[in-house]
Each structure stands twice: as structure tokens, then as C-alpha cells.
Amino acid sequence: MATIYVVEDDGAVRDSLRLLLESEGFNVVASASAEAFLSETQPDRAGCLLLDCHLPGMSGHELLEVLSRGKMEVAVVAMSGDPDPALRRAAERHGAPLLVKPVPAEDLLRAIEDALRAAG
């Protein structure tokens, strides 16, 4: 089963996502910030990054830029509680759907499966 990399600064949300995804059989690696993700994680093609766009420090949008310039190839699903049009365009430029929080579990799981399938 694929690994889902969760980057979410809210500990309760991060824990809820971990429980949901593990209950679906995914391996989960969770980080509280974009910086922690970059320093602690080496994602592979069989994974999907579940990314909160509004993070302290490096934003989710900035992390997408870093990933697009580097050699990390991972499918991305972006999330935001406040999805302004600029953020939506940025996510689309990186091929990432932008889900509005709170995200129903079935919508989240479908987006992850779609992203993994598209990344092939």
C-alpha cells in the first residue's frame, strides 16, 4: 500500500487524518510543518502528499514550488480552510486538487486514490 505524507500544523487534525488513513490500510508519515517534511522525509513515487496550504513558516504553496524544482516526485492533494482563487490556481499549476476543509472522509479518500492513480 502507498505511503501518505501528511503535512498539517494542527495536531488534532493531523492525528485524525493519520487514524483515518491508517484505518484504510495506508502507511502514514506525518509532519507538523513543510520544513519538517523536507528535512525528515524522502517521498517516493508510490506516495501521496496530503498538504495543508496554510502553514506557519514555509507555506504549502511554497512547499509545492520547492518540490517542483527538486527531484521529489510525489502526488499531491492540497487542503485549505480558506481557498482563495490564487491558492486554487497555484494548486492547479502543480496538478494538485484543492479540497476545502473540513473535507468529508469519502471525498478525501477519493482524491488520494485519484492522485495515486494519476501518478501511476
Task: Taking residues 45-52, report their average pLDDT.
Answer: 87
Distance CA 64, CA 73 (A): 11
Q: Give the global pTM.
A: 0.93
Task: For the chain, give the mean pLDDT.
Answer: 91
CB atoms within 10 A of CB 90: 20
Q: Which fold has domain 3-119?
A: Rossmann fold (3.40.50)
Model confidence at 88, pLDDT cuts 50, 70, 90, reads confident
Is residue 17's pLDDT more than 70? yes
| Integer Rg of the chain from CA | 13
Q: Using an 8 Å Cβ cutoff, are 6 and 28 in contact?
A: yes
Q: Tell me what pLDDT residue 71 has.
A: 64
Distance CA 74, CA 67 (A): 9
Domain boundaries, the chain: 3-119
